Structures are given as C-alpha cells and as structure tokens.
Amino acid sequence: MEDRSQEVLGKYDLRIYNTYRTRGAYVLETDQGLKLLCGYEGGEGRLEFEDTIKQQIAANGYENTDGYVRNCAGSILSVNSIGEKFVIKNWFDGEECNLKKEDKICLATSNLARLHNCMVGIEVSPEQKQCYQQGNLFTILEKRTRELKRVKSYIRERKQKNEFEVCYLSECERFFKDALDAMEYMKQIPYCTLMCNSLDRGMVCHGNYTYHNVFILNCNKATNQLCSAAAVHESDMVATSNFEKSVLGLQVTDLYQFIRKAMEKNDWNISMGQNILKEYQRQRTLLKAEKHLLYVLLLYPEKFWKITNYYYNNKKSWIPQKNVQKLITLTEQIDSKKEFLDQLLKV
C-alpha cells in the first residue's frame, strides 16, 4: 500500500490484518470485517446525504450496503498531509452480478425491489431535499434529442465520412424516430404528479443500479466466514454498493437502468425481460403510470445517444472499431427490442 494511503489508516480505530488492491481502491481485512479504502473527490455534504440514506435503509431492514466508517474524529472524510481525500466503507466478500446467468439476474431484481421498499419514507434536511433531487426526465430527454438531431446534421454535411459516420447515417433515422416517439409518449404520462408523490413520500432511487454495484455474496455478512447459499436467507445473499448517484425521485428509473443493461446483454430476450418484471412486482407493484414511464425510458435510444455523444465530444477523425461494433449490435437488436416493448405493458 502506498504511503499516502497508509497515512489515512492511522486516523481510524481499526486493526488491519491484510490489504490488497482492487479496482481503484484497497480492500482491508480488519477486526471489524471487510472494509474498502478509496479516494474521494466530492464534498462532505454528499457523503452526509448518503450516510443519512444508508442509516435509514438499515433501520428499515436492509443492512447490506457499503455504509461509511467514521474516523476517530467522527468524520466520514479523511484527508492526508498532501490534501488527498479518502473514505472507508463497509465491503463484501462476493462477486458482481453476472448478467449472463438468469438466476443471478433474478436475485439482483428481487434485491432491487426489496431495496426500493426500504428506501421509502427517508427523512432528509430541507437543504438536502433541495440539493439531491432527480433531474427532470422530460427536460433530459428533450436535450438529448436535440443533440441527436444536431449530430445527424453535422455528419451529413461532412464531405469525407469515416466508417463510423457511414454506418451512423445508414441507421440513425430509426433511432431518431424512437426518440421522437418516446417524447410524444412522455407527454401523456402524469410525470409531474408521479415526481411530486415520490418526493412527498421520501422515496429514494439508487441512481446507478447496474451489475457493477450488485454483489452476490460468498459469505455470511456478520462473520465473513464462507458458507453455502442454503445457510442464509435469499435476502442476505445480495449487497448493494456505490450510492454516489442516489437522489430523491422516481424509483422506476433504477428498474429501467437494470433491465436495459440485462436485456442488452441478452439480445432482448422476451422471456427474461418478463421474468425480471414479474420478480420485481412480486415485492413491489408498479403503478400504471410507472409502467408507462418504464416503457418510454426503454423506447428512448439511450445507448445510441451515448455512442453519439462519445463521437461528438471526442476526436472525430478516428473512432475506435468497438464503437462501430456497438452501433451494429444496437441495429441488430432493434427488432427483438421492439417485440419486447410490445409485450411490456401486458406484464
């Protein structure tokens, strides 16, 4: 471990037995279980908001989160002698959710519904409510649609087009139509009412519920001793991490994010998508308006917009081959995605 990270550990009341590096951080084996030491670039206000949420989630019955460990001075944030900021979080012995295995997807879906049920009635300060609130989805989609239109016009005007641009122009109209259709459907949803009800009920969404942040545990959370899956309840087999994008808002956006990723990884398998929705609604029933919003979000070509955004904001003279392949894969999935969307509101 680097000296600048080692310096921070002295600020905590932890006995550390072993450390090893993981993705951009250090896992710590301590007398208080597994912890994670990682750098932090945000402000303390954000950390206190997350801590408030996690404590109330735990009080509501969901304890498997990466809660922050406070240092000896009572602060979540620790700063070393050269001004670098660090935090220590509770951590897990497990693996990221594998989106190629349907049983793992099922566990992650059930976990999301349970997490959402525990993220209702969350009490925060008026300042936190004002600061950490989900952005207006209609405004966000409207802005992205304008970007799609601008880039389409830009590429058409280029005299010499590279492979990506040729591929882009041949397919963009279908994606652009989906964007326009989604905007029209959005106007028919009582979005403002949904949002106001969510805020009034103190509902929080994770903000980044992807497979990277869902851990299927290998161990008993209390003892960190390996055990068989049969030895623990299903709800204790999954943990959720990285609440850095959590906000007060519409929880269905978490479900959208997870289902889109899972479906893209599995070529929009209709049966899988229906099972995800059924598994989620086994614990948390979706309102009719939420289902319609989920439909709109899935219809909107977010992945296509991300590829477009990457192209427009980077060197346009050379685009990685993987971006061309991503575009081709998206195009190949259009029909299966449409078939799933046609079935979505029937579940």
Domains of the chain: 1-91 (3.30.200.20), 102-345 (3.90.1200.10)
State the pairing for strand pair 204-205/247-248. Answer: antiparallel
Distance from C-alpha of 238 to C-alpha of 30, rounded to nearest angstrom: 21
Crossing angle of the two packed helices 163-186 and 288-299, in degrees rounded to 10: 160
Report the 10 Å Cβ neighbour count for 145. 18
Distance from C-alpha of 213 to C-alpha of 182, rounded to nearest angstrom: 28
In order along its 347 residues, the chain shows pLDDT tens digits of 566 678 899 999 999 999 998 888 999 999 999 999 999 998 899 999 999 999 999 999 999 999 999 999 999 999 998 999 999 999 999 999 999 999 999 999 999 999 999 999 999 999 999 999 999 999 999 999 999 999 999 999 988 888 889 999 999 999 999 999 999 999 999 999 999 999 999 999 999 999 999 999 985 544 343 344 444 456 679 999 999 999 999 999 999 999 999 999 999 999 999 999 999 999 999 999 999 999 999 999 999 999 999 988 886 666 778 888 999 999 999 999 999 999 887 76
Residues with Cβ within 8 Å of 331's Cβ and at least 6 positions away in sequence, in order, are: 171, 174
Sign of CA dihedral 136, 141, 146, 148: positive
- Residue 319 confidence (pLDDT): 75
- Record the pTM: 0.92
Question: Taking a C-beta distance cutoff of 8 angstroms, is the pair 274, 344 a contact?
Answer: no
145's enclosing H/E stretch is: helix 137-157
- Residue 6 confidence (pLDDT): 81
Based on DSSP, count helices (H) and strands (E) in the chain, helices before strands: 13, 11
Distance from C-alpha of 231 to C-alpha of 98, rounded to nearest angstrom: 22
Structure tokens at 204: 């929080």
Question: Taking a C-beta distance cutoff of 8 angstroms, is the pair 346, 281 a contact?
Answer: no
Report the 10 Å Cβ neighbour count for 70. 17
Structure tokens at 277: 């929705």
End-to-end CA distance of the chain: 51
Q: What is the SS3 assignment for 117? A: helix
Distance from C-alpha of 287 to C-alpha of 78, rounded to nearest angstrom: 43
- Residue 168 confidence (pLDDT): 93
* Angle, alpha carbons 226-229-235 (nearest 5°): 110
